[in-house]
Amino acid sequence: MAVNQGHMTKLEAVNDILWTIGESPVLSLATGLGDAAIAETHLDRMSRQVQLQGWHVNTEKGKVLTLNSADQFVLGVDVLKVDTVSRTSHRKTATPTPSSYINAKMRRSADDTKWILYDGDELTEFWTNSGITTLTVDEVKFLDFENLTPALQHYIWTKAARKFQVGAMGSQVLDKVTTRDIGEAELQAVQEDSENEDLNIIRDNAHVRSISWRNNPQAGT
């Protein structure tokens, strides 16, 4: 059997969850075995819960949405949350788009066929009279478990394992062990996320950026 280097498969994560209560591993996710199915359900739910926080790996920043032919801003089915933002450069002289000031909300369309951005000021999903044809947004998306970073994979399966073992055994000893593991995994995931995002306190904070460029002789170049 080929060794999966670096990234976990979903099957590996489920077997690791089963291992926490001493259950034997399964060869596939389609076994229909009760504990394996429950472990997979916990993994899926925890993956969605953790990804909803928004991490570097599952966030698309500065994405431009365009009205469709029905004057709607349509979102992908994998979008967990969305926020309108102003698309600016790091220079003080940049002219932002007004997207961050738009009162847009994520909702199901009235015909229940898709997710859209709802106009919170005009109380409609149709942006016909708004004069707006594009919006700049940050989107947090749901990714398959295999497409997450190893640190996030580890964080998710350890949290799922705790939920699973509480339901299966309710052992206080195991609960203490898994709680400690979760803390270590969360710290690792947060550190990795911060490193990957390459945030800069001067460049990525609007207030600090404004001050730093105010008297910069190159600000207008």
Q: What is the per-residue pLDDT across 43-55, written as a single tens digit (0 to 9) for each?
A: 999 999 999 999 9
d(C-alpha 46, C-alpha 13), whole Å: 12
The pLDDT assigned to 124 comes to 96
Sequence-ordered strand ranges (E) for the chain: 59-66, 74-75, 79-84, 104-108, 115-119, 134-141
Q: Are residues 69 and 20 in the same domain?
A: no
Q: Give Dmax over CA atoms of the chain in angstroms.
A: 68
d(C-alpha 144, C-alpha 51), whole Å: 10
Q: Are residues 22 and 38 in the same domain?
A: yes
pTM of the model: 0.79
- Final residue of a structural domain among 100, 115, 142: 142
Q: What would the pLDDT profile of 162-221 be if each residue is shown by its tens digit?
A: 999 886 655 665 666 678 889 999 999 999 998 887 665 445 544 444 444 445 555 444
Which of 192, 167, 177, 197 has the alpha carbon at shortest distance from 42?
167
In a domain, 1, yes or no: no
d(C-alpha 129, C-alpha 10), whole Å: 47
Please count the structural domains in the chain.
2
Question: What residues have CB less than 8 Å from 191, skipping those under 6 apart?
Answer: 151
Sequence-ordered strand ranges (E) for 87-169: 104-108, 115-119, 134-141
Q: Are residues 138 and 148 in the same domain?
A: no
Q: Which domain holds residue 110?
A: 57-142
In a domain, 18, yes or no: yes
Q: Are residues 90 and 162 in the same domain?
A: no
